[in-house]
Amino acid sequence: MSTASFTSNFFGTGCFWKDESRISTVKKQNEGKVFVKCAVNTKTQKTEKAVRIGVLGASGYTGSEIVRLLANHPHFGITLMTADRKAGQSIGSVFPHLVTQDLPDMVAIKDANFSDVDAVFCCLPHGTTQEIIKALPRSLKIVDLSADFRLRDISEYEEWYGQAHRAPDLQKEVVYGLTEVLREEIKSARLVANPGCYPTSIQLPLVPLIKANLIEYRNIIIDAKSGVSGAGRGAKEANLYTEIAEGIYSYGITKHRHVPEIEQGLSDAANSKITVSFTPHLMPMIRGMQSTIYLEMAPGVTIEDLYQQLKISYEDEEFVVLLERGVVPRTHNVRGSNYCFINVFPDRIPGRAIITSVIDNLVKGASGQALQNLNVMMGYPENTGLLYQPLFP
């Protein structure tokens, strides 16, 4: 990896700002900062950038979201993209909203050349990823967005995913990528398992409260809702417009594969086994996820204690936002951004609390958090390329 090439091309080809005086003013304004407005130009994903990125599964929803986010990244440039059925096509032909990106065509993984790649986002279906990552050069940093490496316990993976783990040796070196909780471990990781969208929205509010012994570990009930993009781009009858529009439904009741991932994270925080009731729902919306969490506070603990703990835990965190007391988080307010908005409310039943947490499943729930993690792994400020404001309406 060469950083010198980045410096010399900081405002190089493809940047709109050709005027030297403008460039030096902007450079001065940005001294010490990494994010620059050069990102208004989408034709910046060139090999001149310091870190050369491969996106495996660029023709899917999370892969294309990585491509969109990286257009705004001053250090990461895409040199390789793969697809399966869509191999051989350009990103703009598969995703017309990305037609302005000046990028190589997508290739099949078997034809991919990793000699021009420093780091990989692996955006492939779970069950396919272990074999593929096992075959990648050890020199690569990898963020895997699939569920294939999230569960530490191999037998648990095999039970919930119904297939043998194909890379048990690799599993030992994996770091779980819930950035706000495991940042120190992520810094030195080579292979990060990016969390699932539901587990992200649930662990972010609960982990600090568990660590501070403010809630009971029994009777945690989570009612969660997702937009349909959470199911990926592959055609499925259940995801047809006619099946989804004007209604909602629960799925995976008692057996959704995110249950062990959620319980793993909460149990780590508690240092003892926590089990949860978790029911996800499919909503007639494209992006967005809300988790509503019902719980019992520890004896003597008040709602204000929960609020203060979340405030302390997240006041220095850019992407987790505790709203003002009484303000209800809405999926609309995080759409297209890497934010998680949370708040805590008193239940009418004494001693109980209700927490709501919203994210964009494709950003903080997938590609945004993946980019946040790679920034940490490569030593860049965590928010680099992620300063998108939410998109509303």
Ligand X SMILES: NC(=O)C1=CN([C@@H]2O[C@H](COP(=O)(O)OP(=O)(O)OC[C@H]3O[C@@H](n4cnc5c(N)ncnc54)[C@H](OP(=O)(O)O)[C@@H]3O)[C@@H](O)[C@H]2O)C=CC1
Residue 69 Cβ vs ligand X2W, minimum distance, rounded to whole Å: 17
- 262 contributes a contact to ligand X by CB under 6 A: no
Strand boundaries in the chain, DSSP class E: 51-56, 76-82, 119-122, 141-144, 175-176, 191-193, 220-226, 249-250, 276-282, 289-296, 320-322, 340-346, 352-359
3-class SS letters over 141-167: EEEECCCCCCCCCHHHHHHHHCCCCCC
* Alpha-carbon gap, residue 194 to 223, rounded angstroms: 22
- 145 contributes a contact to ligand X by CB under 6 A: yes
Q: Which of 91, 147, 170, 206 binds ligand X2W (CB under 6 A)?
A: 147
User: Looking at beta carbons only, is 74 or 280 nearer to ligand X?
Assistant: 280
**275, burial (CB in 10 Å: exposed 0-12, middle 13-18, buried 19+):** middle
- 221 contributes a contact to ligand X2W by CB under 6 A: no
Please tell me what DSSP assigns to residue 357.
E
Question: Is 15 an annotated catalytic residue?
Answer: no
Q: How many CB atoms lie within 10 A of CB 290?
A: 21
Q: Give the Å distances, CA to CA, from 368 to 280, 339, 359.
A: 22, 9, 11
x/- mask, ligand X, residues 194-233, rule CB under 6 A, reads: --xx-------------------------------xx-xx
User: Looking at beta carbons only, is 147 or 276 nearer to ligand X2W?
Assistant: 147
Residue showing tokens 């909503």: 283
Contact 268, 261 (CB under 8 A): no
Cβ burial 241-258 (10 Å sphere, 16+ → b, else e): eeebeeeeeeeeeeebbb
- 141 contributes a contact to ligand X by CB under 6 A: no
User: Looking at beta carbons only, is 109 or 262 nearer to ligand X2W?
Assistant: 262
- 230 contributes a contact to ligand X2W by CB under 6 A: yes
- 197 contributes a contact to ligand X2W by CB under 6 A: yes
- 196 contributes a contact to ligand X2W by CB under 6 A: yes
Contact 150, 195 (CB under 8 A): yes
Residue 226 Cβ vs ligand X, minimum distance, rounded to whole Å: 7
User: Looking at beta carbons only, is 63 or 77 nearer to ligand X?
Assistant: 63
- 337 contributes a contact to ligand X by CB under 6 A: no
Residue 29 Cβ vs ligand X2W, minimum distance, rounded to whole Å: 38
Q: Which of 38, 122, 197, 340 is catalytic?
A: 197
- Which residues are at the interface with ligand X (CB under 6 A)? 57, 59-63, 83-86, 109, 123-126, 128, 145-147, 196-197, 229-230, 232-234, 361-362, 365-366
Report, as residue numbers or ranges, the catalytic residues.
Answer: 197
- Which residues are at the interface with ligand X2W (CB under 6 A)? 126, 146-147, 196-197, 226, 230-231, 258, 280, 282
